């Protein structure tokens, strides 16, 4: 059996080496390392894949979120509502821009931002909502967009974990996660569903004016060379990373299907076990692309299960062990523990198993057998 890893990038690379290497070689041959034709080509290809008017590539997913917020012209003191149960990057950029982060609880069934909690948190100062499509599962964008419309708020999608996931609307249409809000942000960090071989990110929008503003912000606030109209940043996707992404984008759907198939096999093995709650697998809408396969362990023995798996050299991880509202950097007197019952429970119960595009049946069986063995001991 191949060595178990949370993410097996080497086995994936071995299969696509010829195309990826050729794509990188083109950049080396032309020495167009920054803003070369590969970046533009990837931008166009991603716009087409997502069905979004504008993709603006940038240096990483954290920058993408920050630049999206700068582009919307959010001002210090504006309140931005986001999920308490997510990676810190989401709240970090809100705080960095001197906006006021307002962390709210998530829903138990999909671990995404709670609609009721959003509604309760809205004040006259609220300017934006940042839903995170956590672990690859699209948040309920139709409902979130409706709340935003009613209260005249921006929606900034943190789509770092769910590129390729679909959101289904009640009229039957489907749209790609990240391309629904006023602006979306993603990351091409190597382990993400569409990962490059270094850092990378992108911002998406259907708004022409916002796209223009953001294109200037990523380039030092320049719209005309050496004319700096706004305070910008330097955030670029380099051409070598674009070359890798261009070679991998045509495989994204296939990669997401491989993740869904692995998830299905995991969940089939865990079915009926009273101590395990497996993630929902929806066969009709592709709303979950399994960036992570995350179980809830309900008998209070999550940490012992983790030790059991570690002894068997099965990698596993706790995403995320501490709610953001309990982090020193983001603590705020406004938060009360009773406002976060779901996050507080999830941090005690969740465990993520190896999830990537190259999982073999033999590996999945070894992992599921080992998990079940723990409960049958
Ligand atoms: C990975 C990630 C980011 C940040 O992306 P980087 O490219 O690492 O800066 C932001 N939000 C979420 C939810 C993520 O998972």
- Give pLDDT, residue 62: 98
Beta pairing, strands 293-297 & 276-277: antiparallel
* Averaged pLDDT, 249-276: 97
Residue 283 pLDDT exceeds 90: no
pLDDT digits (tens, 9 = 90+) for 221-247: 999 999 999 999 999 999 999 999 999
Reply yes or no on whether the pLDDT at 280 is more than 90: no
**Ligand 1 in reach of 86 Cβ (< 6 A):** yes
* Ligand 1 neighbourhood includes 71 CB (under 6 angstroms): no
Burial of 344 (0-12, 13-18, 19+ CB in 10 A): middle
Give me the pLDDT at residue 285, please: 75
Minimal CA–CA distance to 244: which of 160, 292, 162, 188? Answer: 188
Cα 71 to ligand 1 centroid, rounded to whole Å: 19
Task: Using the atom order of ligand 1, give the atom closest to the CA of residue 189.
Answer: 7
What mean pLDDT is reported for the chain? 97
What does the pLDDT read at residue 207? 98
pLDDT, tens digit, 9 for 90 and up, residues 106-118: 999 999 999 999 9
Closest C-alpha among 242, 253, 266 to residue 316: 266
What is the set of domains in the chain, with CATH numbers?
9-104+112-250 (3.40.640.10), 252-376 (3.90.1150.10)
Of ligand 1's atoms, which has the minimum distance to the CA of residue 199? 7
For the Cβ of 201 lying below 6 angstroms from any atom of ligand 1, the answer is yes
The whole-angstrom separation of Cα 332 and Cα 340 is 13
Q: Is the pLDDT of residue 295 over 80?
A: yes
- How far apart are the CA of 282 and the centre of ligand 1, in A? 25
Exactly one of 168, 176, 192, 248 is catalytic; which is it? 192
* Residue from 113, 189, 237 whose mutation best tests the ligand 1 pocket (most atoms within 8 A of CB): 189
* Whether pLDDT at 282 is above 90: no
Average pLDDT score over residue span 187-204: 98
Query: Residue 219 phi/psi, 5° resolution?
Result: -120, 60
Q: Quick: pLDDT tens for 88-103.
A: 999 999 999 999 999 9
Residue 144 has pLDDT above 90, yes or no: yes
- Minimal-distance CA residue to ligand 1 atom 1: 160
**Arithmetic mean of pLDDT, 189-200:** 98
Per residue in 318-346, pLDDT tens? 999 999 999 999 999 999 999 999 999 99
CB 270 within 8 A of CB 225: no
DSSP helix/strand/coil, 52: coil
Clarify whether 192 is annotated catalytic.
yes
The rounded Å distance from CA 347 to ligand 1 centre is 19
Whole-model pTM: value is 0.97
Ligand 1 contacts CB of residue 90 (under 6 A) = yes
Cα–Cα distance between 57 and 202 in angstroms, integer? 4
Question: Band of the pLDDT at 281, cuts 50, 70, 90?
Answer: confident
pLDDT per residue as tens digits for the range 113-133? 999 999 999 999 999 999 999
Nearest atom in ligand 1 to the alpha carbon of residue 200 is 7
Whole-number pLDDT of residue 195 = 98
Centre a 10 Å sphere on the Cβ of residue 150 and count the other Cβ atoms it contains. 10
Q: What is the pLDDT of residues 4-21, one digit of tens each?
A: 999 999 999 999 999 999
């Amino acid at each position: 059996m191949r060595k178990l890893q949370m993410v097996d990038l080497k086995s994936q690379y071995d299969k696509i080496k010829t195309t990826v290497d050729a794509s990188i070689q083109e950049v080396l041959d032309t020495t167009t390392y920054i803003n070369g034709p590969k970046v533009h080509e990837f931008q166009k290809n991603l716009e087409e894949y997502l069905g979004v008017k504008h993709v603006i590539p940038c240096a990483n997913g954290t920058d993408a979120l920050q630049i999206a917020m700068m582009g919307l012209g959010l001002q210090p003191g504006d309140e931005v509502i986001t999920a308490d149960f997510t990676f810190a990057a989401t709240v970090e950029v809100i705080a960095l821009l001197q906006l006021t982060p307002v962390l709210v609880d998530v829903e138990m069934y999909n671990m995404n931002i709670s609609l009721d909690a959003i509604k309760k948190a809205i004040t006259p100062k609220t300017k934006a909502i940042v839903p995170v499509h956590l672990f690859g599962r699209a948040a309920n964008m139709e409902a979130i967009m409706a709340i935003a419309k009613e209260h005249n708020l921006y929606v900034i999608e943190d789509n770092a974990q769910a590129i390729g996931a679909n959101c289904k609307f009640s009229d039957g249409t489907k749209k790609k996660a990240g391309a629904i809000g006023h602006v979306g942000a993603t990351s091409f960090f190597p382990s993400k569903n569409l990962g490059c071989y270094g850092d990378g990110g992108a911002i998406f929008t259907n708004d022409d004016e916002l796209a223009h503003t953001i294109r200037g912000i990523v380039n030092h606030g320049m719209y005309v060379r050496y004319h700096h109209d706004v305070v910008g940043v330097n955030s670029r996707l380099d051409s070598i990373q674009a070359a890798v992404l261009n070679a991998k984008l045509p495989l994204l759907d296939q990669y997401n299907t491989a993740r869904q198939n692995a998830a299905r096999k995991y969940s089939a093995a865990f079915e009926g076990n009273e101590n395990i709650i497996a993630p929902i697998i929806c066969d009709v809408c592709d709303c979950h692309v399994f960036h992570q396969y995350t179980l809830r362990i309900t008998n209070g023995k999550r940490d012992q299960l983790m030790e059991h798996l570690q002894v068997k050299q099965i990698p596993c991880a706790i995403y995320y062990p501490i709610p953001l509202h309990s982090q020193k950097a983001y603590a705020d007197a406004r938060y009360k523990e009773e406002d976060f019952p779901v996050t507080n429970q999830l941090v005690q119960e969740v465990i993520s198993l190896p999830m990537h595009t190259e999982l073999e049946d033999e590996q999945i069986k070894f992992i599921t057998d080992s998990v079940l063995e723990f409960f049958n001991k």
